[in-house]
């Protein structure tokens, strides 16, 4: 069965290029991607429904519009299952980050959601294992392991560490660490800043960049940056060019997350050719197995000693092996995704 029409739950995100890169690659494979809507489902104009971040449809049910959004999504899935359109879930997170929804409602929704799913796409074996632990009802359903794609195609090849540092006003001789992305509690940003502030070294610099919506955490980060001139805090949503510049200016990207299934930030760092420090959790373990010292891991809770070890490692100017991201090429990912669509559509059709 040739798959040429697929409905995505989301077709673009302001804060992540993953969806647009996947859509573009699928279109080059002859797959038309549209946003899920009633007309296409009822008239069976789409052959597959592909859902990313199902929590997008679950918001605090205090507004009628939020109730309609959730009800509409779930009804589309029920109809799709009845008329034989497979529902495929790419598991970016096994559980939503910092959800503002009542925990009982969230638990109910996810329990219902996993029963609606026909099959899953995981970006790493660790994510599959974790998802089946968190959602036992997903066990036994078909799945494919298709890696996260790289970002090399949207990163300017002309940017260098030196030019990026001049653009950001950073010293050429500094040892620069960065921490980019939307700032949430599970990313351990406060602990990173506290540990960094306690480590001496005039050559050190830490760039914290991303929007922080938590008022208490925002105030704490602002105060820490005001006390330590080595910390550069950029509290805003970042355009693509600025993310590239910050990453390129870095000697290492630090991601001391308390939980992680997958990390687009880690892949962005690798795409720019920068090593990553992260916990021995989830996909970071798989990335370390694949890329070796490009992914530096620490055990247990993030400690000051872990950051100090990373600083000493960077200062030693280690020679890293050539970074091979060919397995994360978007066209290869699109081919494998389309093949999974076709296999699942045939299985559901019987």
What CATH number should be reported for the domain whose range is 152-323? 3.40.50.2000
Backbone angles phi, psi at 327, to 5 degrees: -70, -15
pLDDT for the residue numbered 62: 63
120: phi then psi, degrees, rounded to nearest 5? -125, 150
CA distances from 302 to 209, 256, 274 (A): 20, 6, 20
Q: What is the pLDDT of residue 1?
A: 64
How large is the angle between the packed helices 18-28 and 330-349, nearest 10 degrees? 70
Q: Do residues 252 and 314 touch, judged by C-beta distance below 8 A?
A: yes
* C-alpha separations of 138 from 39, 62, 112, 288, 294 in Å: 29, 30, 11, 27, 32
Q: In angstroms, rounded to a whole number, what is the distance separating the alpha carbons of residues 159 and 151?
A: 14
**HEC readout, 91-130:** CCCCCCCCCCCCHHHHHHHHHHHHHHCCEEEECCHHHHHH
Cα 248 to Cα 169, 245, 300, 330: the distances in Å are 13, 5, 28, 22
Strands of the sheet with 5-8, listed across from one edge: 32-35, 5-8, 48-52, 87-90, 119-122, 143-145
Query: Is 5-149+329-349 a CATH 3.40.50.1220 domain?
Result: no
- pLDDT on residue 11: 76
Contact residues for 107 (Cβ-Cβ < 8 A; gap 6+): none
Closest by CA position to 79, among listed 141, 35, 37 = 37
* Among the listed residues 244, 237, 90, the one whose alpha carbon sits nearest the alpha carbon of residue 152: 244
Please tell me the predicted confidence (pLDDT) of residue 266. 95
323 DSSP assignment: P
Q: Is the pTM of this model over 0.85?
A: yes
Residuewise pLDDT in 10s, the chain (350 residues): 677 889 888 877 667 789 999 999 999 999 999 998 888 888 888 999 999 998 877 765 566 777 777 788 888 888 998 999 999 999 999 988 766 777 888 888 899 899 999 999 999 999 999 999 999 999 999 999 999 999 999 998 889 999 999 999 999 999 999 999 999 989 999 999 999 999 999 999 999 999 998 999 999 999 999 999 999 999 999 998 999 999 999 999 999 999 888 899 999 999 999 999 999 998 899 999 999 999 999 999 999 999 999 999 999 988 899 999 999 999 999 999 999 999 999 999 87
Residues with Cβ within 8 Å of 94's Cβ and at least 6 positions away in sequence, in order, are 127, 130, 131, 134, 135, 261
Domain extents in the chain: 5-149+329-349, 152-323
Return the structure tokens found at 33.
Answer: 């991607």
User: Beta partners for 63?
Assistant: none
């Amino acid at each position: 069965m040739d798959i040429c029409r697929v409905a995505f739950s989301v077709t673009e995100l302001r804060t992540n290029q993953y969806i647009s890169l996947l859509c573009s690659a699928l279109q080059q494979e002859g797959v038309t991607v549209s946003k899920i809507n009633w007309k296409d489902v009822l008239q069976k104009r789409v052959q597959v429904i592909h859902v990313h971040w199902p929590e997008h449809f679950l918001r605090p049910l205090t507004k009628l519009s939020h109730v309609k959004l959730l009800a509409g999504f779930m009804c589309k899935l029920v109809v799709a299952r009845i008329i034989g359109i497979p529902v495929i879930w790419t598991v970016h997170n096994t559980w939503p980050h910092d959800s503002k929804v009542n925990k009982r409602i969230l638990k109910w929704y996810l329990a219902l959601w996993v029963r609606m799913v026909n099959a899953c796409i995981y970006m790493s074996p660790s994510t599959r294992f974790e998802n089946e632990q968190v959602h036992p009802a997903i066990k036994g359903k078909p799945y494919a392991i298709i890696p996260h794609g790289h970002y090399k195609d949207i990163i300017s090849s002309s940017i260098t560490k030196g030019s990026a540092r001049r653009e950001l006003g950073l010293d050429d001789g500094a040892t620069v660490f960065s921490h980019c992305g939307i700032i949430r509690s599970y990313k351990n940003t406060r602990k990173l800043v506290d540990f960094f502030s306690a480590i001496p070294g005039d050559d050190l610099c830490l760039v914290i960049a991303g929007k922080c919506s938590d008022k208490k955490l925002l105030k704490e980060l602002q105060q820490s940056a005001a006390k330590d001139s080595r910390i550069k805090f950029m509290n805003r949503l970042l355009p693509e060019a600025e993310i590239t510049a910050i990453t390129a200016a870095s000697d290492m990207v630090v991601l001391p997350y308390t939980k992680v299934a997958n990390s687009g930030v880690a892949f962005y760092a690798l795409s720019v050719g920068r090593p990553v420090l992260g916990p021995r959790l989830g996909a970071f373990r798989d990335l370390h197995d694949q890329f070796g010292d490009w992914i530096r891991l620490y055990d247990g809770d993030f400690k000051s000693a872990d950051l100090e070890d990373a600083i000493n490692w960077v200062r030693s100017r280690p020679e890293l092996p050539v970074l091979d991201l060919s397995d994360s090429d978007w066209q290869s990912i699109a081919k494998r995704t389309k093949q999974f669509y076709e296999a699942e559509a045939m299985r559901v059709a019987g």
